[in-house]
């Protein structure tokens, strides 16, 4: 019977498992801030806009090893642009959509221009989790943990800005710098995961753990812990499923994201069921007692 033990015993599954665990660890706090600060659209824009860097790194910088440096160089430019646009609320969404479509289209043109690379499009978009090598682990971990460090270092003020941006500005903190830091952390998550789960599927890790934690947690710190737990559990479960159905032609990247989505749906149903079964104390206080009902009829 397949399980965590069989995953640990198989080298071709162990490396993907480690990558997914580090990805889940980094995605927890980052996706929590994405949820708290309503940055889902910015995360989606980063996912698509960094694609030319992924393609350029793969084509011009030596294949898979060049994906992370190529993607990170473009990511810094995109992050700077999105941060500047964020200060112009009147045109943010429209301009972000233009950047998203233009950069993603540029990436498609780049890879189709090199006809010998046309077959790599699917791998760049949807990842190559089982093909991760030992040489890929170090840069992947460095970028993911770097993004996590950015979020943890600015956590207090990121949370404060999510609830009261005016108070943060009054405290002397620069809002644009906090926005740049968060956008750069999201970009690091996207870049670090690009070689594993691809340029498109990584959006699930940027959004779903935080959205799941929002259903269950009562505080922002609890949200970060729950989101991290969801990311870690989904990675372990998905690799266990791959080990169990090892004869089926399943995409490990798709299984990882579907497992993450299934956890969200399951926990959402459990949270809704618990909410319905738990009496609301406010309603209990406002509901009339037998004595007050009798008095109302007198």
Which pLDDT belongs to residue 287? 52
6 vs 58 pLDDT, higher one? 58
Q: Which two tokens stand for residue 218?
A: 């009562």
The overall average pLDDT reported for the chain is 84
Let me know: does 33 contact 151? Beta carbons within 8 Å: yes
DSSP string over 22-72:
HHHHHHHHHHHHHHHTT-HHHHHHHHHHTHHHHHHHHHHTTGGGGHHHHHH
pLDDT in tens, 41-88: 888 888 888 988 888 888 888 777 788 888 899 999 988 888 887 776
pLDDT band for position 36 (cuts 50, 70, 90):
very high
For the chain, the structural domain boundaries read: 4-276
Question: What is the second-level CATH architecture of the domain 4-276?
Answer: Orthogonal Bundle (1.10)
pLDDT in tens, 247-262: 777 888 889 999 999 9
4 vs 60 pLDDT, higher one? 60
Q: Which of 1, 5, 138, 15 is nearest to 68 (CA)?
A: 138
Which pLDDT belongs to residue 285? 59
Which pLDDT belongs to residue 109? 85
pLDDT in tens, 199-249: 788 889 999 999 999 999 989 999 999 999 999 999 999 988 888 887 777
Sign of CA dihedral 198, 87, 176, 208: negative
Q: Which two tokens stand for residue 139?
A: 């840069």
- Enter the pTM of the model: 0.86
Mean pLDDT is lowest, of 16-20, 71-75, 86-90, 116-120, for: 116-120
Distance from C-alpha of 57 to C-alpha of 70, rounded to nearest angstrom:
4
pLDDT at residue 288 greater than cutoff 60 = no
Question: Three-state DSSP class for 272?
Answer: helix
Which pLDDT belongs to residue 258? 93
pLDDT at residue 155 greater than cutoff 60 = yes
pLDDT at residue 139 greater than cutoff 80 = yes
């Amino acid at each position: 019977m397949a399980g965590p033990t069989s995953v640990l015993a198989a080298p071709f599954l162990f490396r993907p498992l480690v990558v997914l665990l580090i990805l889940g660890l980094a995605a927890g706090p980052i996706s929590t801030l994405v949820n708290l600060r309503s940055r889902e659209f910015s995360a989606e824009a980063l996912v698509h806009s960094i694609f030319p860097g992924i393609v350029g790194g793969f084509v011009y910088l030596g294949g898979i090893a060049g994906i992370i440096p190529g993607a990170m160089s473009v990511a810094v430019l995109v992050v700077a642009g999105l941060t500047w646009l964020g200060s112009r609320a009147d045109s943010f969404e429209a301009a972000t959509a233009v950047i998203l479509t233009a950069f993603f289209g540029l990436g498609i043109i780049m890879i189709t221009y090199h006809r010998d690379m046309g077959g790599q499009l699917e791998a760049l978009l949807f990842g190559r989790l089982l093909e991760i090598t030992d040489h890929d682990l170090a840069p992947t971990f460095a970028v993911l943990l770097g993004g996590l460090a950015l979020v943890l270092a600015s956590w207090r003020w990121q949370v404060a800005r999510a609830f009261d941006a005016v108070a943060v500005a009054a405290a002397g903190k620069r809002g644009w710098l906090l926005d740049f830091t968060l956008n750069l952390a999201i970009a690091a998550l996207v870049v670090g995961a690009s070689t594993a789960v691809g340029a498109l599927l990584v959006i699930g890790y940027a959004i779903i753990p935080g959205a799941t934690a929002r259903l269950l947690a009562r505080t922002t710190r609890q949200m970060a812990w729950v989101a991290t737990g969801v990311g870690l559990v989904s990675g372990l479960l998905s690799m266990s499923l791959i080990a169990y159905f090892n004869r089926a032609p399943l995409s490990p990247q798709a299984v990882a994201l579907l497992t993450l989505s299934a956890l969200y749906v399951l926990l959402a149903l459990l949270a809704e069921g618990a909410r319905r079964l738990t009496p609301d104390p406010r309603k209990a206080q406002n509901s009339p007692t037998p004595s007050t009902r009798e008095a109302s009829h007198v």
